Amino acid sequence: APPSPFLEPTSRTAPNTLAIISLSKEHYQPITLQESIGAVDGYAEGVTLNTRFGSFPHSTLLDIPWGSQVRASVVDTGSRGRKRRRDQVEDEETPTSNQDDGNDTPTSAPAKKAIAASSGFIYVLRPTPELWTSSLPHRTQVVYTPDYSYVLQRIRARPGTRIIEAGAGSGSFTHASARAVYSGYPGSDADARGKVFSFEFHEPRFEKMDAEIKQHSLQGIVQVTHRDVYDEGFLINGKSPKASAVFLDLPAPWEALHHLARRKTLKGGKLDENPGDWDSPLDPNKSAHICTFSPCIEQVTRTVTELRTLGWTDIDMVEIAHRRFNVIRDRAGVNIPSEKGFSAQPADVAEAVKKLKSDLKRTQDFHKAQTSQPVSDTSESKMDVDESTPESNTGDSNKTEDPLWLQGRLVHRTENDLKTHTSYLVFAILPREWDEAAEEAALAKWPCGG
């Protein structure tokens, strides 16, 4: 298999490889670059990426340095091109440039049209797990970069680590963990190479993941298995994957934990009297580090109980709160560039004061409205209402006559708060097993106990 673009960076784009197209700051699209058979110097476009910012024949995206900016094509694109030109005539006044470099100022209508056809541009980016997470086709909820970066360092994923992951879902965590464990050096001992053992019980999702892993040339690092891990655990063809790191993003992680013991254990922690030739999926010579990822605190409680029962130690829980801060310069009053240098102009100051006053009034009106309204009965706001409070808003119309304190608890939070909570992360460690034989072996190796 060719080297994976996620693991072995190249400097230029090439045919039959994945590229992540940046259409705008927040909008990425994955494409497989294809050789454009029939694309002859601008007369036929061959395989083309069509976007609302223009058309980009793949021939213009190939054999260029990763990160290049590419302008939309001005080639006659046949019937689709005619439709595009019609669209552009319709919104002639709307600039079509997606990233404002501010230089395109058409004057005449034909000039406007010509420039509109070519003013959009894209960036062609080399695939990374972060960009894949931002652009992948969502089949499930996914683990985002702030969470998986933290998780991977806490479960000690590094080159050579063997990770168990369930469920695979959309493969966001899978790609990040593949890069973390990739040890890279050619000819290395296969058993010493890092590996991700990924499990998924939903058949179409498993099929899609399996195909994607092959398309991305990750099959040497990632092995996807179609499996219900609650029932069947984590062995591969009856053999141990010898993992030292585990990540469970499952609705009921506690149902799978008894399969991650050192000796065959039944759910609830009782040792299985008839282990047969069962092998532990964990590496016997290393401590195992686990993380479970659950959106609700009730799931956390059940997981922690089961972890304790099964002998895991150092149990703790973390929530990653990822906030984006928009840093801008305030133009009110100071440092406004003018012909005479950096100083405030009276007209600008008056404008800024007017805007501040109107913002202040809007904020005051908003707070007034908030304090005079009961909690609305949306599913989102319900999540925060204490359901044990009998006074919670039930939608009963008689309640509107009640005093305010009886009409329900006031709840308000920002949209931001809703979006940033993804899940609670539970971490724990299962020490390696130690017995007399291990002690003797250690003493033989390090007689002074060093």
Q: Is the dihedral of CA 407, 412, 415, 420 positive or negative?
A: negative
Q: Which listed residue (22, 172, 303, 392) binds ligand SAM by CB under 6 A?
A: 172
Q: Nearer to ligand SAM by C-beta: 45 or 212? A: 212
Question: Is there a contact between 375 and 381 (Cβ–Cβ < 8 Å)?
Answer: yes
Q: Which listed residue (154, 162, 205, 259) binds ligand SAM by CB under 6 A?
A: 205
Q: Which listed residue (121, 201, 234, 427) binds ligand SAM by CB under 6 A?
A: 201
Q: Nearer to ligand SAM by C-beta: 62 or 155? A: 155
Least Å distance between CB 380 and ligand SAM? 20
Tell me the sheet residues that pair with 224: 198
**Total residues at the site for ligand SAM (CB under 6 A)?**
23
Scanning 52-60, 78-86, 135-143, 149-157 for contacts with ligand SAM by CB under 6 A, the matching segment is 135-143
Q: Nearer to ligand SAM by C-beta: 17 or 133? A: 133
Q: Which listed residue (120, 169, 281, 408) binds ligand SAM by CB under 6 A?
A: 169
Could you say whether residue 279 binds ligand SAM (CB under 6 A)? no
Least Å distance between CB 205 and ligand SAM? 5
Q: How far is CA 87 from the centre of its chain?
A: 34
CA distance 422 to 412: 19
Contacts of 19 (CB under 8 A, 6+ apart): 13, 30, 31, 32, 33, 61, 124, 125, 126, 127
Scanning 165-173, 180-188, 382-390, 407-415 for contacts with ligand SAM by CB under 6 A, the matching segment is 165-173
Could you say whether residue 54 binds ligand SAM (CB under 6 A)? no
CA distance 232 to 230: 6
Question: Is there a contact between 213 and 171 (Cβ–Cβ < 8 Å)?
Answer: yes
Least Å distance between CB 126 and ligand SAM? 21
Least Å distance between CB 163 and ligand SAM? 12
Least Å distance between CB 215 and ligand SAM? 16
Could you say whether residue 147 binds ligand SAM (CB under 6 A)? no
Q: Which listed residue (99, 140, 149, 287) binds ligand SAM by CB under 6 A?
A: 140
Q: Which listed residue (45, 210, 249, 306) binds ligand SAM by CB under 6 A?
A: 249
Could you say whether residue 230 binds ligand SAM (CB under 6 A)? yes
Scanning 9-17, 140-148, 323-331, 343-351 for contacts with ligand SAM by CB under 6 A, the matching segment is 140-148
Question: Is there a contact between 241 and 165 (Cβ–Cβ < 8 Å)?
Answer: no
Task: Look up residue 277 and give its two tokens.
Answer: 């030739």
Considering only CA atoms, which of 248, 276, 179, 251 is closest in space to residue 218?
Answer: 179
Distances (CA, A) of 174 to 84, 210, 242, 293, 435: 39, 11, 18, 14, 35
Could you say whether residue 250 binds ligand SAM (CB under 6 A)? yes
Cβ neighbourhood burial of 13 (10 Å; 0-12, 13-18, 19+) = buried
Considering only CA atoms, which of 213, 180, 224, 174 is closest in space to residue 1?
Answer: 213
Could you say whether residue 175 binds ligand SAM (CB under 6 A)? no
Could you say whether residue 143 binds ligand SAM (CB under 6 A)? yes
Helices (H), 216-345: 229-232, 297-309
CA distance 124 to 121: 10
Could you say whether residue 122 binds ligand SAM (CB under 6 A)? no
Interface contacts to ligand SAM, rule CB under 6 A? 140-143, 166-167, 169-173, 199-202, 205, 227-230, 249-251
